[in-house]
């Protein structure tokens, strides 16, 4: 009765929101596969646009993948020890550090990029290489690995495990690699997936830091939105979505598994 009408109203509302989210995406997917967007689907479906996009823009795809993998590796090397330190220390200093770590995410990406440019822009070699962009990505994605790994470490009561290992004679490096890292695998995996997804889609920082030689996929997308045909831009977007969506699905599956393990 009253309860059911409320349910239907909320369901309709939520479906409308869902439509708002999905319809443009579906339009974009369709546009990338249609021969002529103005005419519509009746003009026929084709893969020509995808092929054209690949021919013109494939270097951006490779660069983005390269950046994402490198970013993930760097963030792991820097971030996992940092998470370990923060969990073990658990004092005012570590909390202040957490604040500092989150700042590049909280503050406008443009500001961070500008700061980097104005400080390090004069080192020509560095400035024009992809490593410059990598630095930006690492700064932006670091908290997204450190936080989940910290959460897993705290749940596993890592300090206690470590004390047990230490009492059996393991030194710090040995403890780290034989006790700490293996027990955080799930958190590291979730974090890495998040980092890769974010790196692939990062634009605010990358736009300021890129050069015509170092164009990433989002940068290429921005170019195509400005200059290319709608169908080409849509096909390019389609390629991007094809890369992102599997990652997102994997991310959701891993997070679900993590939270289920928590409840047990």
User: Least distance from C-beta 232 to another protein, angstroms?
Assistant: 12
User: Least distance from C-beta 110 to another protein, angstroms?
Assistant: 5
The smaller minimum CB distance to another protein, of residues 172 and 261, is found at 172
Q: Is 77 in the site for another protein (CB under 8 A)?
A: yes
- Could you give the CA distance from residue 246 to residue 239 in angstroms, rounded to a whole number? 12
- Could you give the CA distance from residue 35 to residue 20 in angstroms, rounded to a whole number? 25
Name the one range near another protein by CB under 8 A: 48-56, 148-156, 182-190, 238-246: 238-246
Distances 68 to 131, 133, 224, 244 between C-alpha atoms, Å: 12, 11, 21, 12
In 3D space, the residue among 187, 211, 15 whose CA is nearest the CA of residue 132 turns out to be 211
Segment 174-180 long-range contacts (CB within 8 Å, at least 24 positions apart): 176/81, 176/84, 180/84, 180/153
> Among residue numbers 25 through 54, which ones bind another protein (CB under 8 A)?
25, 27-28, 31, 37-38
Choice from 34, 49, 57, 84 touching another protein (CB under 8 A): 84
The smaller minimum CB distance to another protein, of residues 211 and 252, is found at 252
> Among residue numbers 123 through 142, which ones bind another protein (CB under 8 A)?
135, 138-139, 142
Q: Is 242 in the site for another protein (CB under 8 A)?
A: no
Report the SS3 class of residue 123.
coil
String marking each residue 162-201 x if it binds another protein according to CB under 8 A:
xx--xx----x---x--------------------xx--x
- Could you give the CA distance from residue 242 to residue 151 in angstroms, rounded to a whole number? 30
> Among residue numbers 104 through 123, which ones bind another protein (CB under 8 A)?
104, 106-112, 114-116, 118-120
User: Least distance from C-beta 19 to another protein, angstroms?
Assistant: 10
Distances 69 to 139, 141, 150, 199 between C-alpha atoms, Å: 15, 12, 22, 9
The smaller minimum CB distance to another protein, of residues 70 and 247, is found at 247
């Amino acid at each position: 009765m009253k309860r059911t009408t409320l349910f239907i109203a909320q369901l309709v509302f939520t479906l409308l929101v869902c439509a708002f989210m999905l319809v443009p995406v579906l339009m974009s997917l369709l546009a990338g596969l249609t021969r002529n967007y103005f005419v519509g689907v009746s003009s026929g479906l084709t893969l020509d646009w995808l092929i054209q996009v690949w021919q013109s823009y494939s270097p951006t795809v490779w660069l983005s993948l390269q950046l994402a993998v490198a970013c993930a590796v760097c963030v792991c090397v820097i971030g996992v020890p940092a998470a370990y330190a923060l969990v073990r220390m658990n004092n005012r200093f570590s909390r202040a550090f957490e604040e500092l770590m989150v700042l590049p995410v909280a503050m406008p990406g443009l500001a961070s990029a500008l700061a980097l440019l104005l400080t390090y822009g004069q080192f020509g070699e560095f400035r024009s290489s992809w490593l410059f962009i990598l630095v930006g990505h690492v700064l932006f994605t670091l908290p997204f690995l450190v936080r989940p790994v910290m959460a897993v470490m705290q749940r596993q009561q890592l300090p206690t495990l470590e004390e047990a290992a230490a009492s059996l004679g393991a030194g710090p490096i040995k403890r780290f690699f034989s006790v700490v890292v293996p027990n955080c695998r799930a958190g590291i995996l979730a974090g890495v997936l998040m980092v890769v997804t974010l790196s692939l889609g990062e634009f605010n920082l990358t736009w300021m830091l890129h050069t015509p030689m170092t164009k990433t996929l989002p940068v290429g997308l921005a170019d195509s939105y400005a200059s290319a045909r709608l169908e080409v831009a849509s096909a390019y977007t389609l390629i991007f979505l094809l890369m992102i969506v599997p990652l997102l699905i994997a991310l959701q599956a891993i997070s679900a598994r993590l939270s289920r393990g928590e409840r047990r």
